[in-house]
Amino acid sequence: MQLVEYGAPLRLVELPVPEIGRHDALVRIKACGVCHTDLHLQEGSILRGRPPITLGHEMAGEVAEIGEEADWLKQGMRVLVNYHYNCGRCHNCRVGLEDECTELTSGGFDVDGGYAEYAKAPAKNLLPLPDEVSYEEASVLACGGGTVYHAMKANPISLGETVVIYGFGGLGTIALQVARLAGATTLVIDISDEKLAQAQKLGADHVLNASKLDVVKEAKALTRGEGPSKVFDLVSAAVTLETSLQMLHKHGRLIVIGALNKPFQVNPLHLLSNRLQIHGQGGCPSYELKELIKLVKEGKIRSIISRSYPLEEANQALEDLRRGLILGRAVLKP
């Protein structure tokens, strides 16, 4: 299913199986998650690889062909693809910050991705999947799961700390589980009562509806007047970010995860008087994706898949996502 023109539906195209290089592998796609970013790419509001390009960056499948330098792989191996194809050579790759590679190429963004029967990927980006984790569950870890998991590893949660999860969509369901697993007291903020009810079911300690309440005041009240020490903002609208800076405790940290391209305002005096920190966070290195897969295998975290579509119904899946009909995540199955 290729994007051939911005703004137009994806088109079903018959293509030759990709040829792989010495360091690559070919993956027979079994499931590919459908992400909000795919909508942006289709619409052309995020410009990356030039059409025609195959979208899909949440890829899980089995190894179909193996490059000469990738002899540790085995035919038929079940794998998740880390679509952040880092160079492995730059300074950041060498110091363990592979998600901050200065030469990053992304599958489904810059090169062909997983809305297809086969995808080519660097062998080092394939992560073994245990039998206990289905392809559907695995696929959505690649982007949605990994992003929040990495954000919470890079900004570690201390036992008993109160953290805010601002926005309870697909990423929010994982964020809440990870925060709870790390021993946090959790406060979920959203503008939908339905989503907040879901958050409570998943164990949120507190929920607040930002369309009905003064969330700064309420968040302070829930923390003896101090405010939470971390806010994970999965929305990143100016209003959520600016509200978050008001609610934080002295020495608190705002973690910016939602990928919005519109500025927000910060007052330097407020920032320094309260010793606040703002951290931009994204991506997930392979070694943390492996941990996340292990946690899903052990049943400590679970992916929430609301619906599967056959590959040729990709446009339907995107349309349903655009209309807000997907709770959790949609997955394509070739």
- Which residue ranges make up the site for a second copy (CB under 8 A)? 72, 88-89, 91-92, 94-98, 100, 102, 124, 149, 152-153, 156, 158-160, 178, 181-183, 185, 226, 236, 241, 250-251, 256-282, 285-287, 291-292, 294-295, 298, 300
How many Å apart are CA 148 and CA 179, to the nearest integer?
Answer: 10
DSSP-assigned letters across all residues of 40-77: HHHHTSS--SPSSEE---EEEEEEEEE-TT-TT--TT-
Closer by beta carbon to a second copy, 74 or else 275: 275
How many Å apart are CA 310 and CA 160, to the nearest integer?
Answer: 43
CB of 192 to a second copy, least distance (A): 21
CB of 108 to a second copy, least distance (A): 17
Closer by beta carbon to a second copy, 32 or else 138: 138
- Nearest CA among 172, 133, 127 for reference residue 36: 172
Please enumerate in sequence order all residues whose Cβ is within 8 A of that of 94, keeping only pairs 6 or more positions apart, or say none: none
Closer by beta carbon to a second copy, 294 or else 310: 294
How many Å apart are CA 134 and CA 51, to the nearest integer?
Answer: 31
What phi and psi values does residue 312 have, to the nearest 5 degrees? -70, -10
Closer by beta carbon to a second copy, 37 or else 139: 37
CB of 315 to a second copy, least distance (A): 26
Q: 80 — alpha (psi -120 to 50), left (phi > 0) or beta?
A: beta
Closer by beta carbon to a second copy, 75 or else 102: 102
CB of 4 to a second copy, least distance (A): 26
CB of 11 to a second copy, least distance (A): 29
Q: Does a cis peptide bond (omega within 30 degrees of 0) precede residue 285?
A: no
> Quick check: 133 and 293 in contact, CB under 8 A?
yes
- What kind and span of H or E run contains 238? helix 238-247
Please enumerate in sequence order all residues whose Cβ is within 8 A of that of 103, keeping only pairs 6 or more positions apart, or say none: 86, 87, 89, 90
Closer by beta carbon to a second copy, 75 or else 158: 158
CA dihedral 324, 299, 166, 278 (to 10 degrees): -130
Closer by beta carbon to a second copy, 115 or else 149: 149
CB of 117 to a second copy, least distance (A): 29
CB of 33 to a second copy, least distance (A): 20
Closer by beta carbon to a second copy, 60 or else 295: 295
DSSP letter for 132, please: T
Closer by beta carbon to a second copy, 178 or else 199: 178
- Nearest CA among 315, 325, 309, 313 for reference residue 139: 309
CB of 225 to a second copy, least distance (A): 9
CB of 292 to a second copy, least distance (A): 8
Q: Which two tokens stand for residue 94?
A: 């060498």
Q: Where are the alpha helices (DSSP H) in 44-95?
A: 91-94
